[in-house]
Amino acid sequence: MNNRMTAGHAVALNNKPLWKRMLTCWPLYLMLLPAIVYYIVICYVPIFGNVLAFKDYSFRKGIWGSPWVGLKYFRMFFMSYDCKRLILNTLHIGFIKCILEFPFAIILALLLNEIKALRYKKVTQTITYLPHFLSSVIIITMLQRILAPNTGILNQIVGRFGGDSSTFYLMKPNYFHRILFLMDIWRNIGWDSIIYLGAIAAVDQELYEAANMDGCNRLGQIWHVTLPGIRSTIGLLFIMGVGGLLSSGFEQMWLLRTPGNMTVADTLDVWVVRIGLQQGQFGYASAVGLVQGVVGLILVVTANTICKRFTEVGLW
């Protein structure tokens, strides 16, 4: 009886005009208001600043008073000596962050889900989450101490086994991507696994019982029940991750850069800040940032189309 009343109430509510539905559910909309204001102010209002990419910006004349230059800055960037190097470095790091690191959070969530001792599980989750709350400054300072030549822990261990203990790893381009990969995994794997743990908890337990009756062991249940059950979550997060292929993250890359690894650590995010803020070429930097945004949008739309066609999972 209660279920029928609830269903009838929902149908009646859906038939009302939008403003009446908003008045009926005003507490929910009030809770949503801060998020709406945040995205409008932080994400949508700055979009109008992209007009700088087509203007020769002057502080005295302002954004709208500055003269138009058309596609001048876009041609400058794609014809510059740094263009190819910056794009390749950014794609390389984006591939590491968005593709190579992607499965590890899923694997950790699957492993945590298999832990039956509740206290041990909570302790393990807490330990894996904690690095996410440390700032990049703290993490990279710790990394510099660990990898320091002669005095760093890693070099001391290498020296004890008869190796060269004077290696300055952060000055070596061939070590940069491995260091970045391991640091990112350590920092983000626990936090990223939260969503997958939530998705796993929503999988119908009767499916596990049916699989167990059919003779599936735990590995078989993970493969045939758990992973298909969280397929939509995996697909959605992968699609959103693909959009970040041209975004390496400014703060981390800026702090990891050294004169020795500059050839591989200099990315579009770092270059945009350096050109825009340090050299005052706001229009030039805005043009490159706009290219990043447009390419990211194209990648998301493409990934969504492909995923929807082959897996029926998509953002829209």
User: How far is the C-alpha of 241 from the C-alpha of 270, rounded, in Å?
Assistant: 20
Q: Residue 86 is part of a domain; what is its CATH number?
A: 1.10.3720.10
Percent of the chain with pLDDT over 70: 95
Percent of the chain with pLDDT over 90: 27
**Dihedral (C-alpha) 266, 271, 274, 280: value to the nearest 10 degrees?**
160
CA-wise closest residue to 303 among 233, 223, 219, 243: 243
Positive/negative CA dihedral, 231, 234, 240, 245: negative
**Taking residues 12-41, what's their average pLDDT?**
83
* pLDDT of 185 above 90: yes
Answer whether residue 43 is part of any domain: no
**Which residues face 58 on adjacent strands?**
62
Answer whether residue 52 is part of any domain: no
Domain that residue 285 falls in: 71-311
The pTM of this model reads: 0.82
Answer whether residue 35 is part of any domain: no
pLDDT of res. 187: 92
- Dig out the tokens for 197 from the structure: 């743990």
Answer whether residue 8 is part of any domain: no
Answer whether residue 29 is part of any domain: no
pLDDT of res. 204: 86
**Taking residues 103-116, what's their average pLDDT?**
91
Q: What is the number of other CB atoms lying within 10 angstroms of the CB of residue 235?
A: 20
Positive/negative CA dihedral, 266, 271, 274, 275: positive
pLDDT of res. 46: 84
* pLDDT of 278 above 80: yes
Answer whether residue 262 is part of any domain: yes
- Dig out the tokens for 31 from the structure: 């809770």
Is residue 283 within 8 Å of 56, Cβ to Cβ?
yes
Domain total for the chain? Answer: 1
**Taking residues 32-41, what's their average pLDDT?**
92
pLDDT of res. 1: 43
* pLDDT of 5 above 50: no
Answer whether residue 22 is part of any domain: no
pLDDT of res. 2: 44
CA-wise closest residue to 285 among 272, 271, 299, 301: 272
Q: How confident is the model at residue 109 (pLDDT cuts 50, 70, 90)?
A: very high
What Rg, from alpha-carbon coordinates, does the chain have? 25
* pLDDT of 42 above 80: yes
**Three-class SS of residue 301?**
helix
* pLDDT of 167 above 50: yes
User: How far is the C-alpha of 275 from the C-alpha of 271, rounded, in Å?
Assistant: 6
